[in-house]
Homo-oligomer: A and B are copies of this chain.
Amino acid sequence: MSLLKIAIAQINFLVGNIAANIQHIIEAAHTAQELGADIVVFPELTITGYPAEDLLLRKDFIADANNAIYALAEQVNDIAIVVGYPELNGDKLYNSAVVLHQGVILANYRKQALPNYGVFDEQRYFSEGQQPCVFEFNGTFIGLTICEDVWKDGIIAQTKQAGAEILLTLNASPFNAGKIHQREAVICQQINAAQIPLVYVNQIGGQDELIFDGASFVTDKQGEIVFRAAEFQEQISVIEFHDAMPVPSHCAPHYQEIVSEYQALVLGVKDYVRKNGFSGAILGLSGGIDSALVLALAVDALGADKVEAVLMPSRYTQDMSNEDAILEADMLGVKYHIIPIEPAVNAFTGMLAEVFAGTKKDTTEENIQARCRGVILMALSNKQGKLLLTTGNKSEMSVGYATLYGDMAGGFAPIKDVPKLLVYQLANYRNSLSAVIPERVITRPPSAELAPDQIDADSLPPYDVLDPILERYVEQDQSAEQIIAAGFKPEDVTRAIRLVDRNEYKRRQSPPGIRITSKAFGRDRRYPITSGYRGI
C-alpha cells in the first residue's frame, strides 16, 4: 500500500507583501513537516496574496514574485510545497501553481479558466493556460488545478484523463452568505462525475471588500467530504491518502448562516485594521441599531481597549438615544466621549444665514448636522491614528439615505453590505451570546434624528418591504416588472428603484466595506454615474 500525507495550509496572506508571504509559507511548511506531511498545498497566488489587482501590472512586482519562487525552492527541501504565483513567461503572465521539492521544480500548472465576472478581473492580467498538469510524487500521480478550473466543466476530467489519481486545487474563493454550500455542492458534483479524490485549499482573511472564509476540504472520489477545515481561521491539517484514497478525518461543522455572517464581519474589521496598521478604531455611537452593531463587531474584532465611541447629540437627539449609547459603551467596556454638535451647527447656520436668506429648510440643514459629526469623528481619527468606522447599512447605501461626508465619512464601512433587516438579526444573534445591545435599541423605530420626531419610515418604505425589493433589484438584477409581478406594490417598487438609480454618485465616494451578499456595491456592481437608464 502506498501512503501519502498531504497538508492543507489554510493561511491568511497580506496582498503585495511578497517577503512576508514567503516567510509565512516557510513557517507553514515547517509546521506541516513536523506534522509528518509529504506535501503541503497553499492557496491560489500564495506569493502575492489575492487579489493583488493592478500590482500585477508592475514589472518590478512580477519580477520579485518570480524571483521569490526560485529562492523558495532552495529554502524548503524535505517537504514538497505547492504554491501559487503570477508566472511570467515571455510577455505573458499566467496564474500558476508550482510544485517545489528538493530545490527543483517538479511541475508547473497554468490556470485555464480565468474568471472575469462579479468581483473577478483575471482576464485583465492573465493569459489562459492550455493544458492539464499531472506530476508523479512517491509513486502517486497528482493533478493540479486552480479555483475556477474546478467550477467549470471539463478541466477535472481532462486532468484525470492525463493520469491524475488525486486532484489538488489552489483557491481564493471569496465568502458570501450561502457560498460554502454552493461551493461544496457544485464542486462535489463535479468530482462525483469525474470520480477522483480532491484536496481543496482556500485562503482565509479580509482584503478590502472581500472576505475569504477558508473551509478547505477533502473529498473521496465520489465527492463525499471526508475532511473540512474551520471557517475564518488559519489552520494547517494533514490528510492521509492510502493508495490515493483519503482517510476520513475531522469535518468541521458548517456554521449557521447568521454565525458565518457575523464571523465574516468580525474578520473583515480585524484584518482591515491590522493589515493597514491602525492603532484601533473609533465610531460615532448614536443610540441606533446600526452603530450598536458596528460597536459590537469592533469590540469582538479588536478588543474593547482598542475601540472608542463618540456620542454627538443635537437638539433632535432623544434622551433615550444618549442613554442607550452610554449603556452600550458600558456593557462592552468601551471608552466614550460626549461632544454635542450644537456649537458647530450654530456657527454654520450663522455663516450661511445671508446666502440662505429667504430659502426654506430642507435636507441641506439635516446634512449640515451629519457633516458636523463627520468633522468631529475625522478629527479624532486623524489625531489618534485610529480608523473611523462608518456605520451605514446596505439599505441606506442602496437608496442614498445617508449624508456624503457626514455619516458616510470614514475609512471602512463594516455593515455596508448588510441590509437593515439583517442588521436586526445580527444584533439579536450577538445578544444571544451575551447581552451587549440594549433591547430598546432593537425595538424602537429607526430614526436619523436630524429633524423633530423624524423616523426612517417618513422617507422610505418600511424595511420589511424595502429590503426584499432591493435584494431583487440590486443583487438579482430583476426588472421593475418582475418585482411588481412578485407581489410588491408598484409605488414602493418605483420609489425604491428611483432612489437606487439616483444615488450611484454617493456610493462611488463611500468607503470600502465588507462584502457578505452575492452582490455588493463596489467591485461587484459597476454602474455608470452619468446614466439615462431608469430602472422604472
A: which residues have CB within 8 A of B? 14-18, 20, 49, 51-55, 57-61, 116-117, 121, 123-124, 206-208, 271-272, 275-276, 337, 339-341, 343-344, 346-348, 350-352, 355-356, 359, 362-364, 367-368, 371-372, 374-376, 378-380, 382-383, 404-405, 409, 411, 477, 479-482, 505, 508-512, 525-535
A57 and B518 alpha carbons, distance in the complex (Å): 15
Rounded to whole angstroms, the CA-CA distance of A206 and B355 in the bound complex is 32
8 smallest CB-CB distances across A and B, nearest first, come from: A17-B532, A16-B533, A60-B479, A16-B531, A347-B347, A405-B405, A364-B382, A343-B347
Q: Please indicate which of the listed interface residues A55, A340, A347, A372 has the most CB atoms of chain B within 10 Å of its own CB.
A: A347
Which residues of chain B are within 8 angstroms of A14 by Cβ–Cβ distance? 530-532
A-B contact pairs, 19 of them (CB 8 A): A15-B532, A20-B532, A52-B533, A54-B525, A55-B527, A57-B477, A60-B480, A121-B121, A208-B528, A276-B505, A339-B352, A341-B351, A344-B347, A347-B347, A352-B380, A356-B383, A405-B405, A509-B511, A512-B529
Q: Is the CB of A383 within 8 A of B405?
A: no
Q: Flag if A382 contacts B367 (CB, 8 Å).
A: yes
CB < 8 Å neighbour of A364 from B116, B206, B383, B411: B383
Is the beta-carbon distance between A375 and B380 smaller than 8 angstroms?
no
Could you tell me the distance between the alpha carbons of A14 and B528 in the complex, rounded to whole angstroms? 11
Interface-central residue, A14, A58, A271, by most chain B CB under 10 Å: A58
CA distance A187 to B60 in the complex (A): 31
Starting from the known contacts A16-B531, A378-B404, 19 additional A-B residue pairs (CB-CB under 8 Å) come to A15-B531, A16-B528, A16-B532, A16-B534, A52-B533, A117-B124, A121-B121, A271-B530, A275-B530, A341-B351, A344-B348, A347-B347, A359-B383, A362-B382, A367-B382, A368-B379, A371-B374, A404-B409, A411-B505
